[in-house]
Amino acid sequence: MGAIRSIKSAYQLLSAKNRTSQPSLSNSEGCKPLWNGIWKLKVPNKVKHFMWRAANDSLPTKLNLFTHHILPDNVCSLCEAHPEDAIHCLWLCDMVKCIWLSDPIFSLPRSKHFRSFGDLASAVLSDTSPTIAALFSMVAWSIWIRRNRLRERQHVWEVGETVRRARDLLQEFWDVQECPTRPLVQRTRQKWAPPVAGIYKFNFDGAIFESSVRAGLGVVVRDAKGMIIAALSQNIQLPISVDLVEALAARRVILFAQELSIAHVVVEGDSLKVITALNNPKHNRTQ
């Protein structure tokens, strides 16, 4: 065995032996509370996935990349003093400590020593409140993103802003989760019935795409044998109400029948309000 030439190489050797002697977190029954705690965090799914990888030391840190012969060295590129594993780049690095110290809410975990990020995450999940655990996860994720951007020489948050930005992102996520959802409308499923001979049935429906502020109109035409003879779909700007989307779909049926030169039709849709209005002989002045 070659002689140890420096304190740095001795540190690396001891760290490597320590990691190889530790059991795998993924295969340990005792780590189930950690995994369950991570998946129960009230944070975005990408942050949960990040925490799982960090706790399992499977992030693409310089140490892991060096182990797989991707990088020529494993030394942290920020402090240039220690190997970059998960616990170092997210907690122990001098360039990271100041971020955690900027908020007294993390004073409890900072007062203890942890051998791995998995141990640190376990302590946070068991010794702090769900709110602090969620913020801890968001800050750790922000540190990882910030670290990668620094390597790429991209714009990053200032050290003193990292925790505040992470807290704002977490609060924004919570606000979205608490938004009331639209109640589901229970609709009775009915079996489609073909029209009588010589009549064509036009089925219409509308769909809303809130993310793109658009709506869709759909029409299907079938004959007495149930065969589809024509169909169309149309993308439109989102109207002011769901009923108006259905009404525009019904209007498109009439125009489509004219385009196909079909005079004898049956119109069918799943909007009771629109169907009632179509069957009403009185003139309807609503939109």
What tens digit of pLDDT does each residue of 132-167 get? 999 999 999 999 999 988 888 888 888 888 999 999
Which CATH number is 213's domain given?
3.30.420.10
Please report the pLDDT score of residue 29 as a whole number: 58
Is the predicted pLDDT of residue 122 greater than 90, yes or no?
Answer: yes
What is the mean pLDDT of the segment spanning 117-138?
A: 93
**Residue 13 covered by a domain:** no
Query: What pLDDT score was predicted for residue 231?
Result: 92
Total length of the chain: 287
Would you state the pLDDT for residue 19? 45
Mean pLDDT of 101-125: 89
As a three-state string, the secondary structure of 138-162 is HHHHHHHHHHHHHHCCCCCCCHHHH
108 and 247 belong to one structural domain: no
Question: When comparing pLDDT for 43 and 240, which is higher?
Answer: 43
Q: Are residues 72 and 140 both part of a single domain?
A: yes
Q: Are residues 113 and 215 in the same domain?
A: no
Helices 117-127, 130-151: axis angle to 10 degrees equals 150
Domain assignment present for 164: yes
| Cα–Cα distance list, 118 to 23, 24, 38, 58 (Å) | 12, 11, 11, 11
Report if pTM > 0.75.
no
Residue 72 in domain: yes
Let me know whether 74 and 149 are in one domain.
Answer: yes
The mean pLDDT of 66-78, rounded to a whole number, is 92
236 within domain boundaries: yes
Q: Are 171 and 230 within one domain? A: no
pLDDT at 27: 46
pLDDT at residue number 155: 86
Handedness of CA 88, 90, 96, 97 (dihedral sign): negative
Domain that holds residue 221: 200-279
User: Which residues, at least 6 apart from 193, have a Cβ–Cβ distance to it below 8 Å?
Assistant: none
Q: In this structure, are 167 and 204 located in the same domain?
A: no
**Is residue 74 over pLDDT 50?**
yes
pLDDT of residue 9: 55
CA distances from 66 to 69, 71, 156, 172, 234 (A): 5, 5, 26, 37, 54
Q: Which of 177, 210, 226 is the last residue of a domain?
A: 177
The confidence score (pLDDT) of residue 54 equals 95
Give mean pLDDT, residues 114-130.
92
Neighbours of 91 (CB within 10 A): 22
Does one domain contain both 209 and 155? no
- Hey, how many other C-beta atoms are within 10 angstroms of the C-beta on 16? 14
pLDDT at 17: 46
The CA distance from 213 to 88, in Å, is 45
What is the pLDDT averaged over residues 96-123?
90
User: Domain check: are 132 and 272 in the same one?
Assistant: no
* The pLDDT value given to residue 14: 47
Looking at the fold, whether 147 and 257 belong to one and the same domain comes out as: no
- Final residue before a domain boundary, out of 144, 177, 210: 177
Residue 29 — φ and ψ, nearest 5°? -65, -30
Tell me, yes or no, whether 184 lies in a domain.
no
Percent of the chain surpassing pLDDT 70:
83
For residues 275 and 139, membership in a common domain is answered with: no
Q: What is the pLDDT of residue 176?
A: 80
In the chain, how many domains are there? 2
Distance CA(126)–CA(111), nearest Å, equals 15
The answer to whether residues 200 and 191 touch, using CB atoms and an 8 Å cutoff, is no
As a whole number of angstroms, the distance between CA 143 and CA 243 comes to 47
Asked whether residue 287 is assigned to any structural domain, the reply reads: no
Whether 165 and 98 map to the same domain: the answer is: yes
Does 15 fall in a domain? no
Position 24 pLDDT exceeds 50? no
Banded model confidence at residue 186, pLDDT cuts 50, 70, 90: low
234 with 96, same domain: the answer is: no
Query: What span, in angstroms and rounded, lies between the C-alpha atoms of 37 and 31?
Result: 10
Res 117: pLDDT: 94
3-state secondary structure of 118: helix
In a domain, 8, yes or no: no
